[in-house]
Structure 1
Amino acid sequence: MRKRLVDLLLSTKKSNRIAKNIYKTTFHKNLLISYNVNHFLIKNTAHTNYYESHIIAKYFSEIGYNIDVVSFDNPRNFDLTYYDVIFGFGLPLEKSFTNNKSIKRIYYATGAHVCHQNSAEIKRIQAVNRGKNTFLKPKRIIQWTWSQSSSMSDALVIIGNEWTQSTYQPYTDSPIYTLNATSLFYNSSIILNRDISVAKQHFLWFGSGGLIHKGLDLCLEFFSQHPHLHLHICGPKEDDFYKVFHDELQLANIHTHGFVQVDSDDFLHIVRQCLFTIMPSCSEGQSTSLLTTMATGLIPIASIESGKTLNTLGITIETLSLEGIEHSINTAAMLSDTELVALSHANRNEIFLNHTLETFEKQIRNIFSSIEL
């Protein structure tokens, strides 16, 4: 997901600075990246966004552009006519449409289209408020004005799959290129052995902010009715959500772990207990948290809107409802231990084959070579 970047920026020092000519080159063409300037001011190797940013910038430099970088929410007014190409999203890209100069614009989408994302989250929030007689508010609303860039840019590069792409197609006739997200768990030498007979009763919800957006409420509704199954929750605590779902969160089969670092022993301990990862999100580009847990050998039970095509890798949640969750988990329960072991290995292999920084770089180079720059 766009959500991946927003989450990261919330946990890092924001800056209105412009990182000028980051490679100190003397080319005749100039390119602005509107994404996250902190990736070029602060070293943060704990998140793949950092590496992805440098992969993108390095490619543009290799083909002859001086590179400046700003953050997508930079409110400053600066001369955008200086640039031949603008890559990214947010305020700088939106402001570029007021210039008379012909600038090549490449929209970088890390989430589903704003028109889908906003309406999808609002519908989920409404469902919870009506069911719980409360008044929770959306957590992941994106500015509607950003949709201008997704319609009027010369090309769109989207993190996600065919479903993610489909949320953009009604709003543009520009070429759309899809790109795989990368897993935060990238140590392929770590192999987790599980007691399948026990682990298949344990499910992991691993996500970031916007707990209703990512379907934690649906998981709590189901697991509160099935005490023999265990739900492990790794993610931020949203006080209003925790207040509304206080009773469910106190149940013996609901285990809250808070925010857990992927490179920690705590994370390994939790994923070793589980066999399934569950993500009933209403809107993603491609869920990094889902990919990260799949890399540890967890079998995905995920919505279509998670942005990862499962095919034979796991079980798709067809509807974002209690019935949809129940049907998916019942389907998982019908699999034999032999099938579960095979699926666990297949998911691990899938991530280390198609969702690494190496594959990200290959895809970036293939995509940009197809765009006339």
Structure 2
Amino acid sequence: MKLGRITFSALLLARSLWRRLPLRGNKTHISIHNLFGISSNKGRVLISSSTSSFEKPVISGLRSSDVDLRIIIQEFLNRGYIVDLVDARSEFEPKLKYQVIFGFGAPFRKKLVNEDGSCRYVLYLTEAPPTVSRENENRRRGLYKYRNGIMPPTVRSGLFYEDQDFANCDSVILLGDEARSAEVQALIAPNKLAHAILPSIGKSRETLRVYKAHSEICRMGFVQVGTGGAIHKGTDIIAEAFQKLPSLRYDILGHLGVEKFLIEKSENICFHGYIDMDSARAKKVLSNAQFTILHSASEAAPTGLLFSMLYGCIPVISKSCGVNNAFRKFAFFIKSENPDEVAVELAGIADTPVSELKRRSDLARQFAARRDTLSFQAELSEIFDREGL
């Protein structure tokens, strides 16, 4: 495989596909047929995923998940497949013969008109299994109603994955660690495999070297990167806890939308909204934080945590994240979902001896610095080999 060229190829793909490929559909649900118009004897792949980033004519502002999608596309192209891309939210009806259907969402569940049993269905799982996600989010919604008298809407669960996906797929590639893959393995047939892979931070190995951890311990600063589904992510619980911790600071990076009105406010909580993570403003916030926090009801492998770890921020996470085993040597784990009890836990974490914080900070940064695009591509290639793709 062309490992040495993957970073350049993936970035080139990210920059050029928007203007070189035939697009069909509306602005929200596009489909791209036959990337680069190649011909192949290997066969054809349908990738069902988010296509929103392909509407952008420049590479700046791409999320790490957008870059990882381009690496997945590049890997299929490197292996000689014709690749079609369709939005996971669309009602796309496949008319062609596919050797592989990869991804998630409604198009992943469509049975091929010319299905002869030769098509491989590879589920790409980027969050917790739907039953787990649904149960945990509903519990968090109920807890919010108990504390505040208002039942917030379901925001995260059930959008892209259904229980039937695990029965119908031939294999699963999931974002998370080996412990999470064991959980998913129990949901599929014994003769099928669940492969774990951690996401990249969306940057090359050379780029990741320029990120520097802060030189001093900043024990008062906690930062949360990413806010989609605030109740699901536990932002409400953490905000209520910080009301009882006036000496600690809580910075929230991400667009909360209407959910912002569900989150308690105080002087030590700062809502920054959407922010370019490579901007001077983001660098300042991350450099003044010692901890990166995510009290999610269920999560796969949060790239916001990984990115903030580049600055030496120590993860403070719930027990239901898909990286708990991978992070066990340096993360702190929140046990409670009660804001009063969480406040006690956070105060204890902030009082950890400086020498221990330095040890965990160094390990966290070293771990994040290894999640470059080349590493992701190499691990993905090994999984494809094992699956015979």
CA pair 212-32 structure 1, distance change in 2 beyond 3 A = same
- Structure 2 distance, partners of 1:13, 1:144, is 19
Partner of 1:7: none
Count of matched residue positions in the alignment of Structure 1 and Structure 2: 354
Say if 1:16 and 1:75, in contact at 8 Å, map to a contact too: no
51-60 or 200-209: bigger deviation: 51-60
Q: State the TM-score, normalizing by the size of structure 2.
A: 0.84
Say if 2:86 and 2:92, in contact at 8 Å, map to a contact too: no
RMSD over aligned Cα atoms: 2.4
Return the letter of the residue paired with 1:111: E
Partner of 1:226: 245
Return the letter of the residue paired with 2:368: I
Match 2:268 to one of 241, 253, 257: 253
1:110 is displaced (CA, Å) by 0.7
- Structure 2 distance, partners of 1:143, 1:326, is 32
CA pair 308-28 structure 1, distance change in 2 beyond 3 A = closer
Say if 1:132 and 1:244, in contact at 8 Å, map to a contact too: no
Partner of 1:210: 229
Say if 1:184 and 1:262, in contact at 8 Å, map to a contact too: no
CA pair 13-337 structure 1, distance change in 2 beyond 3 A = farther
Partner of 1:312: 329
Say if 1:107 and 1:155, in contact at 8 Å, map to a contact too: yes
Q: SS where residue 203 of structure 1 aligns?
A: strand
Specify every segment of 5 or more residues in structure 2 that has no aligned partner in the other structure, as ranges: 1-25
Return the letter of the residue paired with 1:329: L
Counterparts in 2 of 1:337-356, with a 5 A limit? 337-353=354-370, 355-356=371-372
Match 1:27 to one of 15, 36, 41: 41
1:161 is displaced (CA, Å) by 1.6
Say if 1:163 and 1:304, in contact at 8 Å, map to a contact too: no
1:244 is displaced (CA, Å) by 3.8
- Structure 1 distance, partners of 2:69, 2:294, is 26
Q: State the TM-score, normalizing by the size of structure 1.
A: 0.87
CA pair 262-13 structure 1, distance change in 2 beyond 3 A = farther
| Percentage of matched positions with identical amino acids | 23
1:67 is displaced (CA, Å) by 1.4
Say if 1:16 and 1:76, in contact at 8 Å, map to a contact too: no
Q: SS where residue 306 of structure 1 aligns?
A: coil
Return the letter of the residue paired with 1:161: D
Return the letter of the residue paired with 2:194: I
Partner of 1:14: 28
Say if 1:32 and 1:68, in contact at 8 Å, map to a contact too: yes
Partner of 1:187: 208
- Structure 2 distance, partners of 1:350, 1:54, is 23
Say if 2:48 and 2:88, in contact at 8 Å, map to a contact too: yes
- Structure 1 distance, partners of 2:104, 2:64, is 18
1:95 is displaced (CA, Å) by 0.7
Match 2:260 to one of 222, 228, 242: 242
